Amino acid sequence: MPMSYDLSRDDCSRLLRAGVAGRVALGTPDGPHIIPVNYAVDAGERGDGPESVLVRTTAYSLLGTYGRDAQVCFEVDQFDHELKRGWSVVVRGRASFVDDHEALARIARSWQPRPWAEGQRHLLVRIPWTEVTGRQLGGGWDPWEFLPVRRLA
Amino acid sequence: MPMSYDLSRDDCSRLLRAGVAGRVALGTPDGPHIIPVNYAVDAGERGDGPESVLVRTTAYSLLGTYGRDAQVCFEVDQFDHELKRGWSVVVRGRASFVDDHEALARIARSWQPRPWAEGQRHLLVRIPWTEVTGRQLGGGWDPWEFLPVRRLA
């Protein structure tokens, strides 16, 4: 059975910045939900932080209804069943809706999360990297080398 | 941008039964958490239901601490960024700890969730398929045909 290791904050950051799809967990009156999302990482005006995960949604979605100022959890992972190895990175923080015009314009210029599913998604949700943790299963390999998709810098 | 479709309960069941790794979302006093897990599907003594997701954990884990009789969410998904298609299936229900000796013996005989990470995981958590929903992004393909891993029947 493979060993499990903590990933450093730098490794977590590198994996988060490389990804394009993850999941948000959100508490609602009838319990937690998991919502698969496309996402982008924002690191502020000069790209030097503070970092956050950006997700687009709609006002009438679960995230639009219960996400404002709510503590949420965001996760990315990759598992190779055959090789019995994998990794996961979890971000936790208080979500906010981006409504500052300058921030919206800057994000639109640099990169916007582009949802694959149809429909207008006008609401931009920011999840700050208040808490970032990661785990790797199995040693002797670098998760970065085996990413299925890697976002261009 | 690809269209998004609801998956039927049968499609959801087929995809859940084929999978080996997923994620549990759980509410805690400091907000929701997402926990990557290995899992198995149990369908009762005669294999004809009611169905549930089984996950092994430890008494001192988040799931062991806050999971008993708690409403939780379980998710599996697969996304192909290049082809802009994917699917996700979500199970929601009230988790319970399996402590019935007959059920434990039956599950041990048939299949046990085998966590990849090291350490003893003596606690078996059951998540009933009270609510099962699934989505597919992009039409004209069958998620079943493109599973990276498929559990043998």
Phi first, then psi: give them for residue B77, nearest 5 degrees. -160, 170
Complex prediction ipTM:
0.90
Residue B66's SS3 state is: helix
Please give the Cα distance from A61 to B14 (Å, whole number).
27
Lateral strand order in the sheet of B123-128 = B40-42, B52-57, B123-128, B96-97
The residue among A38, A116, A120, A121 with the most chain B CBs within 10 A of its CB, best to mutate, is A116
B25 vs A34, A81, A138: nearest CB? A34
Residue-wise pLDDT tens digits, A100-148: 888 888 887 776 566 666 566 689 999 999 999 999 988 787 888 777 7
Contacts of A38-46 with C-beta under 8 Å, sequence gap 24+, read A38/A113, A38/A114, A38/A115, A38/A116, A39/A74, A39/A113, A40/A107, A40/A111, A40/A112, A40/A113, A41/A16, A41/A17, A42/A107, A42/A110, A42/A126, A45/A106
Top pLDDT among A140 and A28 is at A28
The residue among B15, B28, B34, B35 with the most chain A CBs within 10 A of its CB, best to mutate, is B34
Inspect the interface and report whether the beta carbons of B23 and A23 lie closer than 8 Å: yes
CB-based contact, A86 to chain B, within 8 Å: yes
The residue among B39, B116, B118, B149 with the most chain A CBs within 10 A of its CB, best to mutate, is B116
Instruction: Walk me through the domains of chain B, giving residue ranges and CATH numbers.
Output: 4-138 (2.30.110.10)
Inspect the interface and report whether the beta carbons of B2 and A82 lie closer than 8 Å: no
Provide, as residue numbers in chain B, all residues whose Cβ is less than 8 Å from the Cβ of A79. 21, 36
Residue-wise pLDDT tens digits, B42-101: 998 888 879 999 999 999 999 999 999 999 999 999 988 778 889 999 999 999 999 888
Inspect the interface and report whether the beta carbons of A81 and B115 lie closer than 8 Å: no
Phi first, then psi: give them for residue A96, nearest 5 degrees. -135, 160
